[in-house]
Amino acid sequence: GAGVSQSPRYKVAKRGQDVALRCDPISGHVSLFWYQQALGQGPEFLTYFQNEAQLDKSGLPSDRFFAERPEGSVSTLKIQRTQQEDSAVYLCASSSVFPQRERYTQYFGPGTRLTVL
Amino acid sequence: DQQVKQNSPSLSVQEGRISILNCDYTNSMFDYFLWYKKYPAEGPTFLISISSIKDKNEDGRFTVFLNKSAKHLSLHIVPSQPGDSAVYFCAAPFNTGNQFYFGTGTSLTVIP
């Protein structure tokens, strides 16, 4: 495919359930990012991978959140023991270059809307 | 704390007129800014960017202006078209560039 894809597009979980969200970046993109977008807010950074290495996880809100990218392509964001405040759209983005301060952008997937009941 | 702010949650403009979307930032270390456009049920898509060494960048109907002393940038769309109706986010890379700070977005409606 030409763009970043995410699955599932919608996920409803009961409070306390574990969930796994998948991101397929654009083929060959070395950089991969996860964001959380709450209703009425902008995307907020969660974590960043450069190939298979997780170089920045400073945005993960708690130790219930875990992300991996074992082969440097597909990534999974896992949320354990989901809480209602985890309800949000989770966006994945990728980039063909390493982060730079200028002349750089990220390509976003459609997101996974997670609703925790 | 919100380092990138969009104080207008919504904006309505007549087709053919100019749309002006505003963004303010607090961190003087930001030196590159981007605008993203988002349709419902889709991810944000890159629209236009500007480096802090410039005060204007133009791409077709879209122009971004940067006022560093005021820590303010704006996106001008002229003429506005109904297909421009979307949520617009401004963003700034931080740290080594891997973190993007996003504003809360402005929902633009272009009325035919």
Identify the CA nearest to A10 among candidates A19, A1, A18, A2: A19
Give A2's pLDDT tier (boundaries 50, 70, 90).
confident
- Dist CA A114 CA B27 (whole Å): 31
Checking if the pLDDT of B112 tops 80, the result is yes
Answer whether A91 sits within 8 Å of B43, measured CB to CB: yes
CA distance B26 to B6: 12
Q: Which chain B residues have a beta carbon less than 8 Å from that of A103?
A: 32, 49, 51
Decide if A105 and B34 are in contact by the 8 Å CB cutoff: yes
pLDDT in tens, B93-110: 876 667 789 999 999 999
Q: Say yes or no to pLDDT of A99 above 60.
A: no
CB pairs < 8 Å spanning A and B: 75
Q: Which of B18, B10, B30 is nearest to B72 (CA)?
A: B30
- Contacts of A15 by beta carbon, 8 Å cutoff, 6+ apart: A82, A83, A84, A116, A117
Tell me: the pLDDT tens digits for A3-36?
999 999 999 999 999 999 999 999 989 899 999 9
